[in-house]
Structure 1
Amino acid sequence: MKRYYTRLLLALTAVSILISCEDYLDVSPELGISSEEVFTDYFSARGAVDRASRLIHNSVYNGTDWSSEIGAMSDECQMAQARFPTHRILNAGVWMNSNTKEIGGMRYIGAGGEFNGSDFSTEPTSKAFLAIRAVNTVLENIDQLEEYPTELGFSPQELKDQLVGQSYFLRAFHYFQVIRRYGGFPILNKVYDTSHDFNEVRPSYLTSTDSLVADCDRAIQRLPERWNDQNNGRATKTSARALKAMALLYASSPLMNPDLNPYGSNSRTYNTAYAEKAAAAAADAINSFTAGGYEMYTMEDYKENWLSRTPGFPKEAIIVPPFSRHSDPAGGLVGQGWMLPQFAGGWFAESPPTHNAVEWFETADGYDVNDPDAIANGSFDPTDPYSNRDPRLKTLIFTHGDEMFEGLPNPGDTRIRVLDATNPSGWHYNFDVSKNKMFTGYYHKGKHRWIGCDRWNRRGGWYRSFPHIRVAQLYLDYAEAVNEAYGPNGTAPGSSLTAVEAINVVRSRANMPNVLAKYTSSKDEFRKRIYNERAVELFHEQHRWHDLRRWKLAKEVLGEGNIYSVDIRVVNGQTVYGKKVIQNAIRVFEDKHYWYPFPQNVMDIMTEFEQNPGW
């Protein structure tokens, strides 16, 4: 372990030396720079904090996401080509030392890539280590700060508190990225030198979470409630409260509590003590977000969370990486590979929605489409399955019969313009089958793809965003925590909002009715609707994979034969809608896959530190 961290520290130092504008992050005797020269100046110290902010993973800026988009690891999307890492490695279950993005074994690759988004190998936890090193350097040297600017409109104490508050927040955020994947991890609360001995007993997930929460509390004390216009997008008190709530919700979840849910068992009991803490933290965040300048968009402006014609940060985004603008939608960058079809200018690596995901969207009357009452009451028509559905379905996903493009060279050519998923005669069905692709019958529409994003129109000029936490998630986190701690109609201390009412806030924005009473009769019954609402509202935002893991449902949900496409056939002149298992869409998921494995070269030099179960 000691040797591993030595290599990590050397890598961090190498990065800062090679990038001249950021060499204040790691003081090097070879450069003849002392910490006093670096950290006496406010802007140098703030640069270190900003570096950690830039290391927040940005899924619309980093070109690597096309090759292993997290949605395709779950049941919400399907990687169309078997030759890409998501299928070859993740879906084959061979994670150890895979050198693949997302589960790449804390893999650090080269200098510079993390900062401009062009790195094609480094995975998120390696970025987290870099960021934690940066903010720990700031916290260790903050008392040397002497030179404060006067033109920013803040007092010296306010400026210092802002740097310290942001540092604690960023340390908590990046540490969470490590533990949500790997489990309990040594508390990284200082700058470690090469002589430090990391050969220690591994802390539990709850112990690691307690450390993270303490950092969130420190950040809440020091961060502003709201920034001025020049600093929009930086962490606020609400950001720290939201992160605290999310981290505590994870800590309450079945996977994170092996004492309640032993390895290999099917038990899925929540830790109610941590659920109570999560509920209280989520209530604090909900109570504060308007003061922080955040708000929920209306359904008419829903897409502003991800796509905007004007620069700035989405009003609903509480934690968000820096913006990026992609002016050439057919240029092959910023994640379009997993949302734009190949025939329209995308890559082979697209990962369109599954039929599993489409079934999550209820009827417009609030019925689960697989509920017999939905058909009995006339709410769902199997012969017209995409009508009378949750408005978010048509906002986010193209379905059979939808017009997908405008301004084609021959507008009358409906073969391309209108989605035809008919088996076997449909144009889109045949195109994908001829390319040896795994066809789902659906294409992405809303969150990361805009009208004109295709090889014919090439309409650019959109400012794109990928929030890590939005206002809507606060209500979803609150509902789940309150339901586990107090039941569907319970409330958290400091709030009069019930778990059911919290879900209804999110549904109301989508012009959906309140959750039907039949689904709120018990904690267990309502839990199903919470999980479903989360899958719908956070669709294609890289939550589903981590949610299935923390709920201990991944092994069940991702089992062989559980990933579906739509199956549309014409029988005696009538269109018949069904579903079928996608051939070769195998998700190998065993108990050991609930936690990512530490690389073997790390474990080879450990004696006290324990590998994750099964690896």
Structure 2
Amino acid sequence: MKKYNYLYLFLVSFFLFGCEKYLDKVPEFDGLQQKDVFSDIRLARNFLDGAYTNLLSEVSARDGDSDWLPAMTMGGEGYPGRLELNVPETYNSYAQGDYITLINRKPGDLQTPYFVDRYFEGWKGIRTVNSLLENVDLIKNSTPTDVERLKGQAHFLRAFFYHLITKRHGGVIYLKENLDLNGSLDRKRESYASNLANMIADLDLAINELPITWESENVGRPTKGAAMALKSRITLFAASPLVNTTNSPGPWETAAKAAADLINFANTNGLYQLVSASGANSISVGHNGADLNQPELDALKPYRNIFIGQGVSKEIPQEVIFMEPNQLFDYPSNKFINPIPRLSLTTGFDILKGNNSPMCIGALANFVSKFETKNGLAIEDDATYNPQEPFINRDPRFYSDILFNGVNFKHTVGALNATGVTDLAVVNKQGKLGLDLHDPATPANLLWRVRNLTGYMVRKWCPNGAYWENGNKGSWDFHVNNNLMRMSEIYLNYAEAANEAYGPNGSAPGLSITALQAVNLIRNRVGMPNVNAMYTGSKDLLRKRIKNERAIELCFEGFRYDDLRRWRDASLPENEKVYFLEMRWQGAVSATYPTGFKYDVVEKANLAKTFNERNYWWPIPSSELVAAPSFSQTPGW
């Protein structure tokens, strides 16, 4: 690993321009004229850096805030605990499939989901990138390498912006030159296939233009590997049933090759190797296991360190390809890296003391059920699994990602739970409501203290011992890695595409590993056994386990919602339903209740989502149709 103070490396010396949607004027740069900006390599580089501030991934923060409705809620991984409203307003809109109301919210308004901002910010970023590409050859005091690297970043960013827009809204207009605002706006939307071809063309340019690695002062910028990773992600999306409606093998072969190319590239250059925590199969997490209620396990530390770690300075994990920088909070008496977005999205109420509106996401019981037993079987297929002792003998990643009742986790101080023991019971051993749950007697002005509703919390992004109060108070000698691309995704992309194109034991030309072997690499590195033979006998059987493996390995990282969409699984009843885990103390340990608690997985029918055919593709804001009537609305809206 290399160690860096991985702060906001892209120090932008300007704030982005005001914008009338994406049909805006050429951005201004601290009052300079465009010809002046592109007369100097330093100014041109800073100009392009501005586009990074427009890049809002599924888990990005904006202006120090978290997303009101992150993809982990939309994809059924969790449910928000904020109770200032009986049911969070944006959740109702999403659950009822009312995407037109969501997308028409004014950017920046309270409770506006960031996928609204993402649409408009994407167009701003595209405009900045195009301005750079149109003028980069005017730079006089630059070397050919300087120019090539600027172009590489620009082509990467343009493809990334369009991917974030088109994966939700379908085909739009692929602008390679900025619009002439004095000209006609009579433009029609292009097909997704057309946009796809342009994204791949931009990425192929970026792959040739970007360096394999950057010098230390530029670490964090996209590399050749990042462009290859984005190509793998986009080609997999295009091969999936949502786009590849005839299930043609060609797109699957293309996606398999894109992933295989990156795997070969990484192996050849000694980059992006999977972090090994294979010793995790030795942890003691059986009934009364010594490790069961421990907050951090030594055998899991290498895996946990992909996501969180001690100290403000980050150790960039060897499998991370592209990472989002954290913002530096610099108060007079303290300095620390802002943990937003992932930390406050998942365990916000426990560590953001005094913050009036964090979106604590509790993991759903029906999602947690996807974690296999340590025997490598789905819980419904393993006779040793006892639903009245659901926390024991699970996939080691369960103990990295999920915080459950009884764990000695020091994430709480003051407010409702100062014990250091996670208490998620509806009725605890003292016969009272669990300290990490909402007390009905809590005054309305203190509802921000609500902890959890679902019976599970998210541990993946929360370091043990971290908490954050108003201002600079708290304990924050930790960091959170906002990973956007890592090698695990690429192996899973390869496994899925190769299975569809060549079958479980087939492989893409030029790569020796099979689809099944790629999945096993991901499992083995955390001590899980190979995929059980009962799941490997056909393409259809392995497909189900690959989907499950993606759910587990990539959980709470912003993948799940779009995976369900591209597989056309979002409308399946199992993905529309919401289940909580409820625990009640039974008075004593017994044969029926080995922990003394009764565990009930309870459906919350009032929270179920409605996902119709038109919800597979999002509408565009109605304001776009006013600005350019020929820019047609997404079908169904």
- SS state of the match for residue 504, structure 1? helix
Amino acid in the other structure paired with 1:317: V
Are 1:284 and 2:281 matched, yes or no?
no
Give, in angstroms, the shift of residue 328 of structure 1. 8.1
Q: Are residues 1:89 and 2:90 paired?
A: no
Instruction: Tell me how far apart the structure 1 counterparts of residues 628 and 519 of structure 2 sit (CA, whole Å).
Output: 45
Counterpart residue number, 1:397? 402
State which of 424, 440, 451 in structure 1 corresponds to 2:465: 451
Bigger mean CA offset, 165-174 vs 418-427: 418-427
TM-superposed CA distance for 1:142, in Å, is 1.3
For residue 128 of structure 2, the aligned residue among 118, 123, 134 is 134
| Alpha-carbon distance, 1:313 to partner | 4.3
1:483-503, CA deviations, whole angstroms, 9 ceiling, x for partnerless residues? 111111110121111111111
1:600 deviation in Å? 2.1
Going from structure 1 to structure 2, the CA distance change for 1:406 and 1:219 (only over 3 Å counts) comes to: closer
Aligned pairs for 1:276-355 (under 5 A) are 276-290=253-267, 291=269, 293-299=271-277, 300-308=301-309, 309=311, 310-311=313-314, 313-325=316-328, 334=341, 336-340=343-347, 342=349, 345=352, 347=357, 349-355=359-365
Match of 1:418 in 2: 422
Task: Identify if the C-alpha distance between structure 1 residues 134 and 119 changes in structure 2 by more than 3 Å, giving closer, same or farther.
Answer: farther
Partner amino acid for 2:77? E
CA 184–406 in structure 1, closer or farther in 2 if over 3 Å, else same? closer
Structure 1 residue 166 displacement after superposition = 1.0
Would you say the 8 A contact 1:242–1:474 is kept in 2? yes
| Deviation sequence 1:319-374 (CA, Å, 0-9, x none) | 22223346789999645442225355455631111112211110111000122xx0
For residues 365-380 of structure 1, the aligned pairs below 5 Å read: 365-371=375-381, 374-375=382-383, 378=384, 380=385
Structure 1 range deviating more: 118-127 or 551-560: 118-127
Residues 386, 399 of structure 1: 8 Å contact kept: yes
Cα pair distance change 1:463/1:348, threshold 3 Å: closer
Structure 1 position 577 matched with structure 2 position 599? yes
Task: Kindly provide the amino acid, as one letter, of the partner of residue 361 in structure 2.
Answer: S
Distance 2:424 2:199 in 1: 49
Say whether 1:432 aligns with 2:438. Answer: yes
> Could you say what the CA RMSD is over the residues aligned between the two structures, in angstroms?
3.3
Query: Quick one: distance in 1 between partners of 2:479 and 2:328?
Result: 5
The amino acid that maps onto 1:195 is N
CA contact (8 A) 2:23 2:179 kept: no
Q: CA deviation at 1:412?
A: 11
Per mean C-alpha deviation after superposition, the further-off stretch among 592-601 and 362-371 is 592-601
Q: Which has the higher helix share?
A: 1
CA distance in 1, matches of 2:33, 2:337: 47
Q: Is the Cα–Cα contact under 8 Å of residues 242 and 568 in structure 2 kept in the other structure?
A: yes
CA apart distance, 1:78? 0.6
- Counterpart in 2 of 1:152? none
Task: Provide the residue aligned with 1:217 in structure 2.
Answer: 204
Distance 1:450 1:185, change over 3 A: farther
- Alignment partner for residue 514 of structure 2, among 498, 502, 509? 498
Aligned counterparts of 2:117 and 2:416: Cα–Cα separation in 1:
42
2:233 counterpart residue number:
246
User: Against the structure 1 CA distance between its residues 413 and 484, is the aligned structure 2 distance closer, same or farther, given a 3 Å change threshold?
Assistant: same
Deviation by residue 1:529-554 (Cα, 9 ceiling, x = unmatched):
11111011111111111111111111
Aligned residues of 1:286 and 1:474 also touching (Cα < 8 A)? yes
Residue by residue over 1:249-305, the C-alpha shift from the partner in whole angstroms, topping out at 9 and shown as x without a partner, is 0001111235x3xxxxxxxxx342111111000001111225274333333222333
* Cα distance in 1 between the residues matched to 2:629 and 2:536: 49
Once the 2 structures are TM-superposed, how far is the Cα of residue 158 of structure 1 from its aligned partner?
1.4
SS at match of 1:467: strand
What is the identity, as a one-letter code, of the residue corresponding to 2:51?
A: A
Contact 1:364 1:388 in 2 (8 A): yes
Q: How does 1:194-213 map to 2 (within 5 A)?
A: 194-213=181-200
| Per-residue deviation, 1:212 | 0.2
Q: Residues 186 and 202 of structure 1 are in contact (CA less than 8 Å); yes or no, is this contact kept in structure 2?
A: yes
The equivalent of 1:563 in structure 2 is 578
Q: Is the 8 A contact 1:296 1:316 kept in 2?
A: yes
Q: For residue 466 of structure 1, what is the aligned residue in structure 2?
A: 482
Asked if 1 retains the 8 angstrom alpha-carbon contact of 2:235 and 2:254, the reply is yes
1:483-527 deviations in Å (ceiling 9; x for gaps): 111111110121111111111111112211111111111111111
Q: Which amino acid letter does the alignment assign opposite residue 318 of structure 2?
A: K
CA-to-aligned-CA distance 1:125-146 (integer Å, 9 cap, x gap): 2221111111111111111121
Q: 1:598 aligns with which of 620, 628, 637?
A: 620
TM-score, with length taken from structure 1: 0.83
Cα distance change, pair 398–225 in 1 and its aligned pair in 2 (3 A): same
* 1:53-109 deviations in Å (ceiling 9; x for gaps): 2322264643443421221112101112344343132223222143xxxx457x655
**Distance (whole Å) between structure 2 residues aligned to residue 332 and residue 238 of structure 1:** 26
Instruction: Work out whether 1:53 is the aligned partner of 2:59.
Output: no
The offset of 1:447, in angstroms, is 2.2
Is the 8 Å Cα contact of residues 56 and 321 (structure 1) preserved in structure 2? Answer: no
Alpha carbons of structure 1 residues 279 and 549: separation in structure 2 relative to 1, 3 Å: same
498, 503, 512: which one aligns with 1:487: 503
Q: Match for 1:470: what amino acid?
A: R
Q: Relative to structure 1, is the Cα distance of residues 119 and 39 closer, same or farther in structure 2, using a 3 angstrom cutoff?
A: farther
Q: Is the 8 A contact 1:73 1:86 kept in 2?
A: no
Match of 2:73 in 1: 72
Aligned to 2:21: 8
Return the letter of the residue paired with 1:140.
E
Deviation at residue 439 of structure 1 after TM alignment:
1.7
Structure 2-normalised TM-score? 0.80
Please state whether the residue corresponding to 1:134 is helix, strand or coil.
helix
Of 388, 391, 403, the residue aligned with 1:383 is 388
For residue 372 of structure 2, what is the aligned residue in structure 1?
A: 362
CA distance in 2, matches of 1:289, 1:317: 11
**Which stretches in structure 1 are left out of the alignment for 5+ residues?**
24-30, 149-155, 261-269
Superposed CA offset, 1:387-420 (max 9, x none): 1111111111111222222796799975x62324
- Residues 408 and 323 of structure 1, relative CA distance in 2, 3 Å threshold: closer
The 10-residue stretch of structure 1 (583-592 or 484-493) with the greater mean CA deviation from structure 2: 583-592
Opposite residue 576 of structure 1, the aligned amino acid is K
What secondary structure sits across from 1:165 in the alignment? helix
- Aligned counterparts of 2:69 and 2:153: Cα–Cα separation in 1: 30
What per-residue deviation string (whole Å, max 9, x for no partner) do you get for residues 196-219 of structure 1? 434344322122111100100011
- Bigger drift between 86-95 and 474-483 goes to 86-95
Whether contact under 8 Å (2:149, 2:209) holds in the other structure is yes
Greater share of strand: 2
Report how many residues are paired.
562
- The 3-state SS of whatever aligns with 2:555 is coil
